[in-house]
Chain A
Amino acid sequence: MDKITLTIDGQLLTASPGETLLTVATRNGIRIPTLCHLEGLTDVGACRLCIVEVIGQLVPACTTEAANEMVVKTRTEAIKKYRRQVLEMLFAEGNHVCSFCISNGGCELQDLACELEMHSVTVPYAYPRNRVDASHPWFLIDRDRCVLCGRCVRACGEVEGAHTWAFAERGHTARVITDLDVDWGDAESCTSCGKCVESCPTGAIALKGASNAEMRKDTDMVARLVERREHE
């Protein structure tokens, strides 16, 4: 079977086998909020902000393949509520202080608060003590601003092939590390390409020297590189 027919929010749509619900929705102008998704990288379904409803079940749109006669809802009140809860927990588990962040005005997390109408964070803030690593000559990571989306890990591994970034530990102590948890400046595998900086949705991985609200990420960089390679 060459084409799949499915319904998203009442619209009858076609998809190719293997396409995700997010791809089909985006192509047809149906907006689904995302955070860990980045064009050009493998989808992992980590952040759960793209959850949609398929026959009463909540599934991430970025890792669920379209199937024939599937009926998908992307914006029910229940979905909106769950997305907002996920977002509140993302805000609560870090130290996201937009007012003096270098990415203020250019941050996907900040934009999601507007899009998902998060009026306040209803779970208690965790106020973790996280380590800032500014040992790299050009870049720094402020883990207070990290949402563990893993876009840096995937951009570094899949596109640059350096595998400098990785996850360490689990649960609320989980964090991204460079090489075997050495200072970034001492990470020998790092090529200083900057793909992690441009892929990071918040101000967590950033250029040194950028001041409050100055940082703007080139989040399309990875997708451009991948597309050019495919055309070679």
Chain B
Amino acid sequence: MSKVKVSTLWFSGCAGCHMSLLDIDEVLIDLAGRIELCNSPITDLKVFPEGGVDVTLIEGAIANEEQLHLVKEAREKSKILIAFGDCAVTGNVPGLRNGLQTDTLIEDIYGKGVTTNGNLPYDVVPRLLDRVRPVHEVVPVEYFLHGCPPPPGVIAKTILALLDGKTPELVGEDLKFG
């Protein structure tokens, strides 16, 4: 049986969700035999494999133009998208800048008080979106893993259910934010 292809992406989040993914203990050994981890911060591979993947886990909110582009690509190249953790599901901490003027924010951080080079860094970093958005506001999402980060048990049972061709049962405490 060919291995199930899984990608993980890391947008505006703290990497805590990826750490929680690595925290599923012995399930990792089981997964190692059943999945092929493709592009992911863990493998450091940057592009989707030809033909796409079965499942992509997305950590983090959509905050800049590069992430907007990548999340759309992820949608095209994944059979199943999972919003992975509170930032991806709600905007969470990165979303706190919503309601502030993004241009002012960039000037405040990179412009004012910078004496050597006052240029705004648009040519080297992706331009910020006006608003930080949860993943499902940009592309359709199949499953939502709540939590900051999602508990390892919830991650494990979700991935294992998908590998068995079942719908993950996310109920009760599984849906706890924070």
How far is B96's CA from A129's CA once the two chains are assembled, in angstroms? 10
By a CB distance below 8 angstroms, the chain B residues around A96 are: 177
Q: Does A68 lie at the interface of the complex (its beta carbon under 8 Å from any beta carbon of B)?
A: no
Contact A127/B173 with A119-B144, A213-B178 known, Cβ cut-off 8 Å: no
Contact A99/B99 with A120-B89, A120-B144 known, Cβ cut-off 8 Å: no
Q: Does B52 lie at the interface of the complex (its beta carbon under 8 Å from any beta carbon of A)?
A: no
How far is B90's CA from A100's CA once the two chains are assembled, in angstroms? 14
B175 and A118: CB pair below 8 A? yes
How far is B96's CA from A98's CA once the two chains are assembled, in angstroms? 12
Within 8 A of A (CB), among B141-178: 141, 143-144, 146, 148, 170-178
By a CB distance below 8 angstroms, the chain B residues around A114 are: 172-176
Q: Choose one: B93, B136, B175, B178; the contact of A117 (CB below 8 Å).
A: B175
Residue of A nearest to B90 (CB): A121
By a CB distance below 8 angstroms, the chain A residues around B178 are: 98-99, 101, 104-105, 110, 213
By a CB distance below 8 angstroms, the chain B residues around A213 are: 178
Q: Does B83 lie at the interface of the complex (its beta carbon under 8 Å from any beta carbon of A)?
A: yes
Residue of B nearest to A111 (CB): B176
A-side interface mostly? loop
B interface bracket (residues with beta carbon within 8 Å of A): 20 to 34
Q: Choose one: B137, B143, B174; the contact of A124 (CB below 8 Å).
A: B137
A interface bracket (residues with beta carbon within 8 Å of B): 20 to 34
By a CB distance below 8 angstroms, the chain A residues around B173 are: 114
B93 and A120: CB pair below 8 A? no
A125 and B95: CB pair below 8 A? yes
How far is B170's CA from A33's CA once the two chains are assembled, in angstroms? 19
Q: Does A223 lie at the interface of the complex (its beta carbon under 8 Å from any beta carbon of B)?
A: no
Name B residues whose Cβ lies closer than 8 Å to a Cβ of A.
Answer: 83, 86, 89-93, 95-96, 98-99, 131, 134, 136-137, 141, 143-144, 146, 148, 170-178
- Identify 10 new A-B residue pairs, CB closer than 8 A, beyond the known A97-B92, A99-B177, A213-B178: A97-B95, A98-B177, A99-B86, A100-B93, A110-B176, A114-B175, A117-B175, A119-B175, A125-B95, A128-B99
